[in-house]
A = this chain, B = another copy of it.
Amino acid sequence: MTDKIADAAMAVADRETTIIAAQPESGPASIEGYYDAALAIPGMLRCIANAEAEGVDAHVIACFDDTGLDAARALARAPVVGIGEAGFHVASLICEKFAIVTTVEPSVPAIEHNLVRYGLASRCVCVRATGLAVLSLQDSNSQAYRRIAAEIESVKREHRAEAIVLGCAGMAGLAAALSKQCGLPVIDGVAAAVTLAQALVRLGLKTSKLGGYMPSLPKTIAALPSELVSRKPVSRKP
């Protein structure tokens, strides 16, 4: 899946951009619900810390419920974009009402809470679960595709969705085909986040450190999962 995400990111990268796709050393194999998300964050933060040390210009968190986004912004100097928020903001620029088509039911509440938190709940008519597990998306067989297309047709008809945000990094490669088949814009969060990260870099903007994202106060941290060493991330250039 990390490879698929890297491919989606490369497809919209500027000529000046280098994409570094990193996978956390610790945490669950996929994130479906609150418990998985909580266990994934320390490993993800380790990736962010490593990338900061390497001097990257921006970070993208490629989990659709923007797992650990707040902590990452508090940790990093460079700007951080979540693929969920990226999908919502981009959709808001091309339609009045969008819908989200995601994987399994336990992923829905966190997405809905994010929409409220970001302010964009009024723009989203529906968060729909396909019942497809995240890992099942790794082989984009036609059955998963047909299921997603069917849900898109359904939210378009029943909720008057004008555009679709695909609610899982694993669906990245399907956006163009789904858009053509269903006759409305279909947005992949990974691609959206990369273009927004590029926009922030181009604008010279970094996360404000005045509010909740100010650096954590220095304190003793007991028994950090210190054995977790970052595997070498894949680095590619267009």
Task: Write the nearest CB–CB distance from A173 to chain B, whole angstroms.
Answer: 14
Q: Which residues of A (147-167) have their CB < 8 Å from a CB of B? A: 156, 160-163
B92 contacts A222, CB within 8 Å? no
A3 at the interface (CB under 8 A from B): no
A217 contacts B133, CB within 8 Å? yes
Residues of chain B within 8 A of A43, CB atoms compared:
222-223
B222 contacts A29, CB within 8 Å? yes
Nearest chain-B residue to A123 (Cβ)?
B119
B29 contacts A219, CB within 8 Å? yes
Residues of chain B within 8 A of A234, CB atoms compared:
none
Task: Write the nearest CB–CB distance from A100 to chain B, whole angstroms.
Answer: 14
Supposing A29-B222, A105-B214, A210-B160 touch, asked if A38 and B39 sit within 8 A by C-beta, the answer is: no
Residues of chain B within 8 A of A202, CB atoms compared:
12, 14, 195
A51 at the interface (CB under 8 A from B): no
B29 contacts A212, CB within 8 Å? no
Q: Which of A24, A41, A121, A183 has the most CB of B within 10 A?
A: A41
Partner of A217, one of B73, B104, B160: B104
A42 at the interface (CB under 8 A from B): yes
Supposing A89-B93, A97-B211 touch, asked if A187 and B205 sit within 8 A by C-beta, the answer is: yes
B221 contacts A39, CB within 8 Å? yes
A219 contacts B36, CB within 8 Å? yes
Q: Which residues of A (52-89) have their CB < 8 Å from a CB of B? A: 68, 70-71, 73-75, 79, 81, 85, 89
A7 at the interface (CB under 8 A from B): no
Q: Which residues of A (179-203) have their CB < 8 Å from a CB of B? A: 183-185, 187, 191-192, 195-196, 198-200, 202-203
Q: Point out residues on A near B: beta carbons under 8 Å.
A: 12, 14-15, 24-30, 32-39, 41-43, 45, 68, 70-71, 73-75, 79, 81, 85, 89-90, 92-97, 104-106, 108-110, 113, 116-123, 133, 135, 156, 160-163, 176, 183-185, 187, 191-192, 195-196, 198-200, 202-208, 210-214, 216-217, 219-225, 227-228
Q: List 12 A-B contacts (CB under 8 A).
A: A30-B219, A33-B214, A33-B216, A35-B216, A38-B70, A39-B71, A92-B118, A93-B196, A95-B207, A113-B117, A133-B217, A176-B204
